[in-house]
Structure 1
Amino acid sequence: MSPNRVLLTSVVAGVAAAVLVPLDRPGVGWAPAALAVFLLLGKVRLGWAVAAVALFGTGALVAAEWLFALCAIAGCAAASLAVVGGVTARGLLFGSVAVPAAALRAVPWLAKGLRAGGGSPMVRPVLVTVGLLVVFVPLLAGADAAFADLLGALVPDGSLVEPVVLFLVVGLTTTAARFLRAAPPELDGTPTVPRTIARRDWVLPVGALVVLFAAFVGVQVTTLFGGDDHVLRTAGLTYAEYARSGFWQLLAVTLLTLGVIAVTAQLAEVGTRTDRTWLRALLGALSVLSLVIVASALARMWAYQQAYGFTVLRVLVATCELWLGVAYLLVLAAGVRLDGRWLARAVLGAGFAALVGLAALNPERFIAERNIARWQESGRIDLDYLTGLSDDAVPAIATLPDALRDCVLRYRRVKDDDWRSWNLARSRAREVPRSEQPTRCAR
C-alpha cells in the first residue's frame, strides 16, 4: 500500500476511534470501533479479528470495569494477532504485543515513504486541516455555550482530551499494523532444542507422576468429591479447611503438570512406534488424572462459596480452573496424533472465549443472585460486599426486601449514557426503583 493510503487509513481509523469509543467506561462503541479498524486494514486473520471484536463487545453487556479491562487487554492482544499471526507459544506471545510495540518504528517508516513518494497533493492540506481544527475547535467551544452544546452531541462533556488521545493511539497503531504488513516479523522462529531425550530418560519420571496422581485420586476420592456429606461426617473438618486447604495446591499441580507435559512432548524422541505409544499412554494418563484434579479443585471452590458466599475473586479463579480443564482436553486431542502445532492457538483462543463467556455470565450479577439465594436459606448476607458491586448487580439486589434493597442502593447513582457509551447493565440498573428516604441500615 502506498504511503499516502497508509496515512489516510490511519487518520480515518483514529477519527473513528475518537468518535465511537467511550474511554471512561464500558460501552457499545468499543466493538464498532474495532470493526472499523479491521475493515480499514483489509486482509486480517479472521479468527483473531472475531475474537477481538467479541472481547471489545463485552463493553455493551457488563458495567464491571475490572472485567471489561481484562476483556479490552485481551482484545488488544487478539487484534495484534489478527495482523501478524503466530503459531507457537513463542510466536503468540510476541505476536500479541507486536503491533503496539512497532508504533514508534512505524512513524519514521511512514515519513520516509511520504518523502520518497513525493506525497499526494491531498496529504498536506489534510494534515493542515486537522491541525487547525485541533487548535480552533476547543477555543470556539469555550467561547460560546450553544456551540459547546452542539459539540457535546459528539464529544461528551465537551472534553477533547480523550478523543485526541484515542485519535493518536489508534492512528499510530494502525500505522504500525501497516508497517508490519509491509515487513512481516519472524515470530515463531525455529526449534533450538532437538528431540534428544531418549525413552528411558522420560518414561521413569513421567510414569512416577502418573502413579502418584493415580494413588492420590484413588485414596482421596471421597475427600475430593465428598462435598457437603463428607464435610459433615468428618470430625473437626470445616468448609474452610475442606476448600481452602487444598484448592491452591491443586491449582498449582494442574499448572505445573501442563509444564511437564509441554516439555516432555517437545523434547522426547518419537522415532519409533514404541516411543510414540509410550508417549501417548503416559501423557494421556497424566492428562486424564489432571482433569480429575481440576474437577476436584472446582468442587472444593463450589463448596466453599456455597458455605461462605460468592466473591469476584472466587468466581474469577474458578473460571481460570475451568480454562485449565479445557486446556487438558485439548492436550488429549493433540496427543491422539502427536500433532500439537495447533495447540497453543487453541489454548489461547479458549482463554479469550472464557473471558467472553464470563462476561456473558455477568459475574457480579451472578454473585449477587447466589448470595441472595444463600441469605434466603441461612439468613446471612454481607450487605457491605453487595454495596461494592457494580451496576451489573443492581437488578439482583432489587429482589431483596425494600429495607435491605434501599440500604444497599441508597448512595448509588447510575451514570447517564450517550449513544456510544450505552450499556445494557447500566440501562437495567436505571429501571430499579429507589426509596427517596431509605431506612437506616443495620450492618
Structure 2
Amino acid sequence: MELKIGKSDCIFLLLCMLLGIVAEEAFFRAEIGISYLVFIVAFYGLFFFRYRRVSFSHQRFGYLVLICIWLLAASYFINDNMYFYALNIIAIPVLVFFHLVLVTSQKSIRWNKPAFITYLFLKLGGAIKYNFVFASLLGKVFKQGVDESKFQVWKKVSIGILISIPVLMVVLLLLMSADTQFEKMVGGIPHWFQVIDAEVVFRIIVVLFYSFAFFGLMQVLMKKQINVMNQNGDQLTFKMDAVITITVLVLINAVYVLFTIVQFKYFFSGSLQGDFTYAEYARKGFFELLFVTLINLSITVLVLTFVKSTIGFIKRFIQVLLTTLVLSSAVLLSSAFMRLSMYEDAYGFTFIRVMAHSFMIFLVVIFMYTLIKIWIEKLSLFHFYFISALLYYTVMNVINVEQIIVTKNIERYEQSGKIDLHYLNSLSYTGIIGLIELYKENPQLPGLKNVLHERKNEANLSNYSWQSYNLKRVQANEELIKLHLE
C-alpha cells in the first residue's frame, strides 16, 4: 500500500487527534452519560466534514441506521439501565462501523448479502494496515538525517526493551514475594520519578489509539477499489433435497399438532392435571417452549433458503407444511406468553421477564413476515430480519423498560399486597423514583423508609462530573432531597 500524504491529510490527522481527546474525555474520565451523545455529535461532525464532497450510497437505509445510533447514544443521557449500558458499549461502535462502511460503499454493493460481512472485515483490516504503513512512513521521516547504523541500534534497543518488559514483570513479582527488603526498595522506585505521571501516560496512549483508529478507518473508506460483492459469490451452492425436507417437516408437524391438542385441552382451557400450580407449570415450560420456537424459526429459514427449486404439488406441499410449522409456533408462543404472565402474577415483574415478553412480541412480527415469505418468494428474509431487530433493540433502549417494571410491580402490590422492595432498589434510578411514589402512598410499608433513607444520604453526598449527567439520576436525586421521611 503506497501512501501519499498531502496537506489536507495532515489537517485531518490533527482533527482526528482532537476527536481522540474528546473520546478520552467522554469514556475514560467518569461514568458515561451525556458524554456519549457529545462524542457521537463530534464524531459524525468530523465524518461529514471529511466526506462533504462524497455522494453517499444506500441513503434511506443509512439514515435509519444513523437515527438508531443517535437514539442509542442518547439513551445513556435519558435512561440508566445497566443491562443496556453494558450492551451498547459493543452495539453502538459496531453499528457506527457498519453505517460508515455502508454509506461509503459502491451503490452496486448489496448490504443484505453474506458477502457484505467479508467486505466489512476487509475494510477493518484495511484500516489496520493503513496505520501500520502510515507509522512506517513516519519512521522514514524521522529517520532522515540520522546515521543508519545508530538508527538500527536504537531500533533494536527499543525492541529489546519491549520484549523484556513482560519477563521483568514476572521476575520482579517473584523476587518481591521472596524478599521483603527488596519489595520495599522496588515499591519506592515510583517516588524517584515524580515527574512521570502514569495516568497522564495512559491517557496519552488512549488518545493516540483513538486518533489513529479514526484516521485509518476514514482514510481507507475514501478508497472504493475493494469489491468483493461478486454476483457469482452470492449464489448458494448448498441445496436441500425436497423429499428429505418434506419427510422432516411431516414428522415435526405431527409432534406439534399433538402438542397443540394437549395445550388446548389442559392449558388454554384453564384446568391442569397433577400436583402442579399454574406458577410451577409456567416456570417449568416457558424457556423450553421459547427455545423450541426458535428452532422452528431456524428450520423455516433453512428450508426457505436452501431447498431446491420445485414446482407443482411438491412446492405447494412444502409451503403448506411450512405454514403449519409457523402456525404451530404461534401456539407455542401463545402458551409461553401465558405461562410467563402467570409466573409474573405469582412472583412479580423483573427485567428479564419483561424483556422475554417483548422478545416474544418481536418473534410474532418475525413469524408473520416469514408466513408471507412462504407464499411470496421474492421477499428478502435477511433484509426484514435485520431492520426489525435493529428497530426492536433501539425501541427497547428508548422506552425505559424499567419504568414498565416499576409500574407493573406497584399495580401488583395494590392488588395482592406483595412487592419486592429490594429488587426495585437494585434497579436504576427509575426504581428509586418508583419507591418514592410508593412511599407517598404507603409510608408504613415495612422496610421502605430505611431503603429511602440510605438513598437520600447517597443523594446528598453525590457529586458527578458532566460526563455522567443523566436525566433520571437528576430527577431521582432531586425527589430524594425534597422527600420528607417521617
- Aligned residue for 1:197, secondary structure, equals coil
**Percent identity between the aligned chains?**
21
Q: Which residue of 1 aligns with 2:16?
A: 10
Aligned-pair CA distance for 1:346: 2.8
Give the equivalent residue in structure 2 for 1:123. Answer: none
Q: Which residue number corresponds to residue 415 of structure 2?
A: 377
Name the structure 2 match of 1:293: 332
Cα RMSD of the aligned pairs, angstroms, is 3.7
Greater mean deviation of Cα atoms: 382-391 or 234-243: 234-243
- 1:235 to 1:205, Cα distance in 2 relative to 1, 3 A: closer
| Partner residue, 1:48 | 65
Q: Deviations over 1:262-284 (max 9, x none)?
A: 22122211153555434433323
Q: Is the 8 A contact 1:103 1:172 kept in 2?
A: no
TM-aligned CA distance change 1:117 to 1:303, over 3 Å: farther
Take 1:335 and 1:238, find their aligned partners in 2: how far apart are those partners? 39
Q: 2:477 aligned to 405, 430, 433, which one? A: 430
For normalisation by structure 1, the TM-score amounts to 0.75
- Partner letter of residue 90 of structure 2? I
Structure 1 residue aligned with 2:134: 110
Aligned-partner Cα distance in 1 for 2:28–2:361: 32
State the distance in 2 between where 1:106 and 1:223 align.
Answer: 64
Give the alignment partner of residue 303 of structure 1, picking from 342, 348, 352. Answer: 342
Q: 1:24-423 to 2 correspondence within 5 Å?
A: 24-41=30-47, 42=51, 43=56, 45-85=62-102, 87-88=111-112, 90=114, 104-111=128-135, 164=204, 167-181=207-221, 182=223, 184=226, 186=228, 190-191=233-234, 193-194=236-237, 196-221=239-264, 223-225=266-268, 230=270, 236-272=275-311, 274=313, 276-341=315-380, 343-401=381-439, 402-403=443-444, 404-412=447-455, 413-414=458-459, 415-423=462-470
Distance in 2 (CA, whole Å) between partners of 1:273 and 1:114 is 67
The code of the aligned residue for 2:418 comes to R
Structure 1 unmatched ranges of 5 or more: 119-141, 144-158
Aligned length: 396
CA contact (8 A) 2:30 2:465 kept: no
CA distance in 2, matches of 1:275, 1:295: 30
Q: TM-score, normalised by structure 2?
A: 0.69
- Render the CA deviation track for 1:67-126: whole Å, top value 9, x for unaligned: 2221332222211211234735745766777776665433114346778999xxxxxxxx
Cα offset for 1:234?
5.2
| Amino acid paired to 1:338 | E
* DSSP 3-state at the match of 1:236: coil
Between structure 1 and structure 2, the one with the greater Rg is 2
Aligned-residue offset at 1:429: 0.6
Cα distance in 1, alignment partners of residues 257 and 126 from structure 2? 48
The alpha-carbon deviation at position 406 of structure 1 amounts to 2.6
DSSP-derived class of the 2:31 partner: coil
Q: Which runs of 5+ in 2 are unaligned?
A: 103-109, 143-193
Distance of aligned partners of 1:184 and 1:300 in 2 relative to their CA distance in 1, 3 Å threshold: farther
1:110–1:432 distance in 2 versus 1, CA, 3 Å: same
